[in-house]
């Protein structure tokens, strides 16, 4: 049977992103209806991007269009980071070694997620830091693209 690392390689489309707090209540940190891509490359690089389709649209296609308030609104509906990844086959878990990210806190830090694979379905779960300061559990579900 192929290793977890081998089974992760490829392109995944977002199915859902939800979190649960300590009381077991489910909430959606970025809202519902997100679109997203997760890429795992054979050379050990990864990239993830999530986007709310409800983000406001700039009036111009020019890079840098809009003022700081416009950019703040647009950035709240977007989540992205990239770097290298390693897999703990025994756990099983994947660690994303963040090299660049929209959130300026994340570069240089590791994000470890538990792996659950079922055919072309992937669930990554792990700690999620809520705006309230609590540490909740995030569940991000993906489907492999053909």
CATH number for the domain harbouring residue 11: 2.40.128.280
pLDDT tens digits, 83-128: 999 999 999 999 999 999 999 999 999 999 999 999 999 999 998 8
- Residues 6+ positions from 46 with CB-CB distance below 8 Å: 38, 39, 40, 82, 83, 84, 85, 96
What is the residue range of 12's domain?
Answer: 4-144
Q: What pTM, to 2 d.p., does this model score?
A: 0.92
pLDDT tens digits, 29-43: 999 999 999 999 999
Number of compact structural domains in the chain:
1
């Amino acid at each position: 049977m192929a290793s977890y690392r081998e089974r992760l390689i490829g392109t995944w489309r977002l199915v859902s992103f939800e979190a649960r707090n300590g009381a077991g209540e489910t909430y959606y940190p970025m809202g519902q209806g997100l679109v997203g891509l997760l890429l795992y490359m054979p050379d050990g690089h990864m990239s993830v991007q999530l986007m709310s389709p409800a983000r406001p649209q700039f009036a111009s296609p020019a890079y840098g269009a809009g003022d700081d308030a416009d950019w703040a609104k647009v950035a709240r509906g977007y989540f992205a980071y990239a770097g290298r990844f390693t897999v703990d086959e025994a756990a099983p878990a994947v660690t994303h070694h963040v090299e660049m990210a929209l959130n300026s806190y994340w570069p240089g830090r590791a994000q470890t997620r538990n792996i659950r694979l079922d055919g072309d379905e992937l669930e990554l779960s792990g700690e999620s830091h809520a705006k309230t300061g609590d540490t909740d559990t995030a569940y991000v579900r993906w489907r492999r693209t053909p």
